[in-house]
Amino acid sequence: MRLDSDTLKTKAGQGFEALHALKTGQADIIVGTRLASGGLRGSRVSLAAVLDAELELDGPDFRASEKFGQLLFELRGHLASVPNGRLLIQTADKDGYDYAPLLADDYQAAAENELALRESFGYPPYTHLIRVTLKAKELDLLQAETARIKQVGECRTLEILGPVWCAKKTDKLKKQYLLFKTDEARYLDLLAQLDSFEPAKKVTIQVTADPYNFY
């Protein structure tokens, strides 16, 4: 049975059957996304497998390892409460993530590792991020406005990342974003300058302070 966002779109979807099966033990195997982990509480599941761990870690989000760790600790917490609970992790690179805190059930150590990485790469909570998303029908116009808004942040940032293409195949507009990384002293000034930026006609922008998602 499948349990993911697609199978949960309608009440008749297989996802609701899978959720019920998780609670009652009526299914031997359920294949799902991260959503499935949320349905484990109170269930009879005694074996969970995380496949292709690199897919979680290689996403365009500096919080990817944090979210991956939260998933693993959530799974571990459930499996430790049931008889013979087991957690399997399939990975092509066992050194790509520090699994030692998970094996020791030491969430504090995992958090400290994550903070050390954030500090070394200059990410929150040690810096501020501002995402500026630009949309336009014409690619040339989109690129021109992207270059122009980059100039706004050149003297007010530690680093400017992107542009990152984020349009879906079904989108009518072309879309990409820039990520401005700045310090506390320049944060409010940069935010004010970006908020007051007037794009060319047929281009829309969206400014997001300290964004949580990057997809």
- In the chain, the domains with their CATH numbers are 2-121 (no CATH), 128-209 (3.30.70.600)
Cβ pair 163, 176 in contact under 8 A: yes
Mean of pLDDT values over 123-141: 94
pLDDT at 179: 94
Nearby residues of 90 by Cβ (< 8 Å), 6 or more positions away: 49, 50, 51, 52, 53
pLDDT at 107: 93
Contacts 24+ apart (CB under 8 A), 208-214: 208/130, 208/131, 208/132, 208/133, 209/128, 209/130, 210/124, 210/128, 210/129, 210/130, 211/129, 211/130, 211/131, 212/63, 213/61, 214/59, 214/60, 214/61, 214/62, 214/131, 214/164, 214/177, 214/179
pLDDT at 176: 92
Question: Whole-model pTM above 0.85?
Answer: no
178-205 pLDDT, tens digit each:
999 999 999 999 999 999 999 999 999 9
Which of the residue ranges 30-34, 59-63, 141-145 would you say has the lowest mean pLDDT?
30-34
Mean of pLDDT values over 126-149: 95
